[in-house]
Structure 1
Amino acid sequence: MKIIIAGAGEVGFHLAKLLSYESQEITLIDTNKDSLAYADTQLDIKVIKGDATSIAILKEARVNNNDLLIAVTASETTNITVCVLAKQLGSKRTIARISNTEFINHKDEVGFTKFGIDELISPEALAASEIELSLKQSSFEDNYEFEDGALTMARLTLSKKASFVGKTVKEAAQIFPEIHFVPIAIQRAGTQYTLIPRGDTEFKEGDSVVFITSEGGGGELCKLSGKANQDIKNVMILGGSQIGYKSAKYLSNKGYNIKLLEKNKERAFDIADELPDVLVINSDGRNVNILDEENICDMDAFIAVGDNSETNIMSCLVAKSKGVKKSIALVENMDYFELSHSIGIDTLINKKLLAANNIFRYIRKGEVVAMTKLSNMNAELLEFEVKATSVVCNKRIRHIDFPRSAIIGGVIREGVGLIALGSFRIQEGDRVVVCSLLRSIKGVEKLFL
């Protein structure tokens, strides 16, 4: 695919990096010479210095022969303008990064596609949604919902208390035949190797296992794995950033008791005025004594979403030492992200990765409805919509020539999530959730074209 990325900031550079690894033809546009110079030396891409709202610059990037334009500059006005211009100049698809989530909430009413904008994304809103889901599924280390929870991806590390440790997948299925979850990826303790489980794959203590669960499967999984599903009610948020503000707003509307610490006095008063149900404290939450004064030990969850990754991590570690059940930290450094569980934090949030996951489904072939990369694993989860022409249509799963390094985790049919085993017949209109190692994605895509 020919892809133009407008904006060489953190999100733009990360997207260019991931897409260049996929052998896509990338052109990166930015006004900042230093950002472009770094990208030019680090990545196999074309860079153009200039304003992406310039028609001349877009023509230089050959927008008329472009499959996808992604506008991710720091200005949402610029991003919207670039997408409108690009679509009029011939770009097949456009995606704009925005910060005002009202645009997303009312996109059908406003009709952004009429203007030439096919998709709107907000990394901050995605991060806030990820935080909300992490609290709802508090016993899991990582999770992702398909079709508003019809199917859910849940990840946890197996302790020796897990009922199926020492058993193969087939043995576990025979012992627990009525369960509503299935394993789709395993990373052995102390390794970076990801395997797709088969019937003879044995569960071992310390395994990091990714499951797909249908309705009710999360509770069963907690019970069989020896995990207690923690009840989260009192939440402390460190930082009044856009993510902190959006998280506080979402969570307070869901009935959580929220306490937000913001060191900037003006920002703290603004948030307090806008969110009357949130207790906003003008204080520097990086100070351990302040956290003690604000009764951090009474909190069920601590969310650090300040500007500094190291501070967020250290604050979460302090919270865990005070007995807080769930800790969530916002990090921008991908090296930290890969060390999440080894440093003792329950969940790490990365805006760049969330934005990339949201955009990557437009890169994949076939009718991809949703997609997420499994953190620290060389695998992706993709949700395909089955067409009448798809190879898998009207076939039982056991009769599909599926790559060995990929697996069907579940099927959503008419809004209901189903754990699909070998005898299950796939039909037109089904939404099929597939876990695949990166090397097999092209083979999987062909099955759903």
Structure 2
Amino acid sequence: MKIIIAGAGEVGFHLAKLLSFESQDITLIDINRESLNYADTHLDIKVLKGNATSVSILKEAKVESSDLVIGVTASETANITLCLLAKQLGCKRTIARISNTEFIDNKEEIRFSHLGIDELISPEELAAEEIQLLLDQSAFNDSYEFEGGELTMVGTTLMRTAPFVGKTVKEAAQIFPELHFMAIAIQRSGTQYTLIPRGDSEFKEGDQAYFVTTKDGVNELYKLTGKTKASIKKVMILGGSKIGFKTARDLCSNKFKVKLIEKDKNKALDLADDLPNALIINGDGRNVELLEEEDIDEMDAFISVTGNSETNIMSCLVAKSKNIKKTIALVENMDYFQLSHSIGVDTLINKKLLAANNIFRHIRKGEVVALTRLNNLNAEILEFIVKPSSAVTGKIIRDLDFPRSASIGGVIRDGIGQIALGDFEIKAGDRVVVCCLPQSISKVEKLFL
């Protein structure tokens, strides 16, 4: 695919990096020469200095023959303008990064697609949604919902007390007579090795294991992993950023008791006006005495979303030392994800990764309606819609020429999620959730074309 990315900031650079690994034809546009030079020397892409809303710059980037234009500059207006121009000049699809979530809330009414914008993404909104989901599945350190929770992906670190540690996948499945979950990926403790499990794969203590489960299977997984679902009602948020505000707003609307700490006095006053159901505290959240004064030890969850990754991690570690059930830290440095399961914080989230996940489904072949990349793992989970012409249509799963480095986690049929075993027949219209390693993505895509 020929892809043009406008904006060489964190999200744009990260996207260009991921796409360049797949040998896509990437052109990165930015007005900042220093950012472009860094991208040019570190990535196998084309760079172009200039304003992405300039028609001449877009023509120089050959926008008329491009498959996708992605606007991820710091300016919401520039991203929207870019997409409008690109579509008029012949680009097939456009995606704009925005910060005003009202656009997303009212996209059906405004009909952005008629204007030339195929997709709107807000990294801040995605992060707030991720936090909400993580609190709902409080015992797990990673989660993702397909079709409103008909199938859910959850990740957890296996403790020694988990009933199936030391058992194979096949033996673990026999613990429950009716199977409502499927193991889709395992990362061995202390390694960067990702395993797509088979029946003879053994679960080991310290594994970071990922499962796809139905609504009925979530409780089974709690039992199997030795986890308990903690009731979370009291939440403390550090940082009144856009993510902090959106998270507090959403939690308050769901009847959570929220305390939000913001260092800047003026911002704290504004937040107090905008969030009447939350307690806004003006102070430095790095101050342990302040946290203790605000009864941090009585909180069920602690979420740190300041603009500083180190502050977020350290404040979560303080919260963890107070026996807080769930800690979530926003980090900008992707390298921290390598430490995410040993650092002591329950979950790290990253806006760049969330935005990239959302955009990647437009790049995959076949009708991909959802995609997520697993934190710390070089694996993707994709949700395909099966077409009548797809190679998998009418086939039994065990008869498919499916690569060993990929597996089908579940199928949503007629709006109902179910775990699909070897004798399951795939039909047109099914939504199939697949987990695969990079080397098998191309082959999997062809099966769903």
Q: TM-score, normalised by structure 2?
A: 0.99
CA distance in 2: counterparts of 1:204 and 1:268, whole angstroms: 46
Q: Provide, for residues 114-157 of structure 1, a one-character-per-residue CA deviation record: whole Å limited to 9, x for no partner.
A: 11000000000000000000100000011111111110001111
User: What amino acid sits opposite 2:225 in the alignment?
Assistant: S
Query: Helix, strand or coil: the match of 2:190?
Result: coil
> Any idea what the Cα deviations from partners look like across 1:211-261, whole Å, max 9, x if unmatched?
001012111101121111111110000000000000000111111110000
Q: 1:295 aligns to what?
A: 295
**One-letter amino acid of the counterpart of residue 6, structure 1:** A
CA–CA separation in structure 2 for the residues paired with 1:134 and 1:176: 25
1:45, CA displacement in angstroms?
0.9
Corresponding position of 1:207? 207
Counterpart in the other structure of 1:132:
132
User: CA contact under 8 A between 1:151 and 1:412: conserved in structure 2?
Assistant: yes
Partners of 1:229 and 1:52 lie apart in 2 by 48
Report the 3-state secondary structure (helix = DSSP H, G, I; strand = E; otherwise coil) of the residue aligned with 1:281. Answer: strand
Structure 1 segment 227-238 matched on structure 2, within 5 A:
227-238=227-238
- AA at the equivalent of 2:170: K
Deviations 1:180-234 (A, max 9, x none): 1110111112221111111111112221110001012111101121111111110
SS of equivalent to 1:148: helix
Residues of 1 paired with 2:90 and 2:378: CA distance?
A: 35
Cα offsets for 1:412-446 (capped at 9, x unmatched): 11111100001111111000000001100000000
2:4–2:63 CA contact under 8 A, matched in 1: yes
The answer for the alignment partner of 2:319 in structure 1 is 319
Contact 1:3 1:25 in 2 (8 A): yes
Once the two structures are TM-superposed, the CA of residue 168 in structure 1 deviates from its matched residue by 1.4
Question: Which residue identity does 2:267 align to in structure 1?
Answer: R
Superimposed CA distance per residue, residues 19-78 of structure 1 (whole angstroms, 9 cap, x where no aligned partner): 111111111111111111111111111111111110000000000010000000111111
- Once residues 43 and 188 of structure 2 are traced to their aligned partners in structure 1, the CA distance between those partners, rounded to angstroms, is 31
Paired residue for 2:413? 413
TM-score of the two chains, using structure 1 as the length reference = 0.99
Which residue identity lines up with residue 275 of structure 2 in the other structure? L
Match of 1:258 in 2: 258
| Secondary structure of 2:48 counterpart | strand
Instruction: Report the equivalent of 2:36.
Output: 36
Aligned 8 A contact 1:179 1:220 in 2? no
User: What is the rounded CA distance, in whole Å, between the counterparts of 2:293 and 2:318 in structure 1?
Assistant: 14
Q: Is the 8 A contact 2:369 2:383 kept in 1?
A: yes
The CA deviation at 1:174 is 2.5
Mind listing any 5+ residue stretches in structure 1 that lack a counterpart? none
2:148 aligns to what?
A: 148
| SS of match in other structure, 2:149 | coil
Counterpart residue number, 2:442: 442
Once residues 159 and 349 of structure 1 are traced to their aligned partners in structure 2, the CA distance between those partners, rounded to angstroms, is 22
Mapped contact 1:403–1:444 kept (Cα < 8 A): yes
1:247-286 map, 5 Å: 247-286=247-286
Structure 2 match to 1:376: 376
Q: 1:94 maps to which residue?
A: 94
Distance 1:434 1:396 in 2: 15
Q: 1:280 deviation in Å? A: 0.6
Q: Does residue 310 of the first structure (1) align with residue 305 of the second (2)?
A: no
Q: Percent identity among equivalent residues? A: 71
Of 91-100 and 224-233, the range deviating more from structure 2 = 224-233
CA contact 2:53–2:78 (8 Å) conserved in 1: yes
Measure the CA separation in 2 of the matches of 1:302 and 1:365. Answer: 39
Q: Distance in 2 between matches of 1:372 and 1:237?
A: 25
Q: CA deviation at 1:175?
A: 3.1
SS in 1 for 2:342: helix
CA RMSD of aligned residues (A): 0.8
In 2, the alpha carbon distance for the partners of 1:35 and 1:220 equals 48
2:311 alignment partner AA: T
Could you say which residue in structure 2 is the equivalent of 1:217?
Answer: 217
Alignment-mate amino acid for residue 288 of structure 1: V
CA shift, 1:179, in A, is: 3.2
SS at match of 1:185: strand
Q: Is the 8 A contact 2:179 2:419 kept in 1?
A: no
Q: How does 1:101-112 map to 2 (within 5 A)?
A: 101-112=101-112
Alpha-carbon deviations, 1:332-372, whole Å to 9, x = none?
00111221121100010100000000000111100001001
Q: Distance in 2 between matches of 1:342 and 1:161?
A: 18
1:395 paired residue number: 395
SS of the residue 2:57 aligns to? helix
Per-residue CA deviation, residues 85-138 of structure 1 (Å, 9 max, x unaligned), is 000001000000001111111111110011100000000000000000010000
Q: Which moved more, 1:135-144 or 1:164-173?
A: 164-173
Q: Separation in 2 of the partners of 1:16 and 1:369?
A: 21
Q: Report how far residue 312 of structure 1 moved.
A: 0.5
Task: Identify which range, 40-49 or 90-99, moves more after superposition.
Answer: 40-49
- Mapped contact 2:158–2:205 kept (Cα < 8 A): yes
Q: Which residue of 1 aligns with 2:76?
A: 76
The whole-number CA distance in structure 2 between the counterparts of 1:172 and 1:343 is: 29
- Equivalent position of 2:332 in the other structure: 332
**Relative to 1, partners in 2 of residues 1:167 and 1:239: Cα closer, same or farther, differing over 3 Å?**
same
- In structure 2, distance between residues paired with 1:130 and 1:147: 15
Q: Distance in 2 between matches of 1:104 and 1:373?
A: 23
Question: Aligned partners of 2:392 and 2:371: how far apart in 1?
Answer: 19
Question: Aligned in 2, Cα 1:323/1:175: closer, same or farther, shift over 3 Å?
Answer: closer
Aligned partner of 1:356 in structure 2 is: 356
**Superposed displacement of residue 172, structure 1:** 2.0
Gaps of at least 5 residues in structure 2 are: none
Task: Give 2:115's aligned residue.
Answer: 115
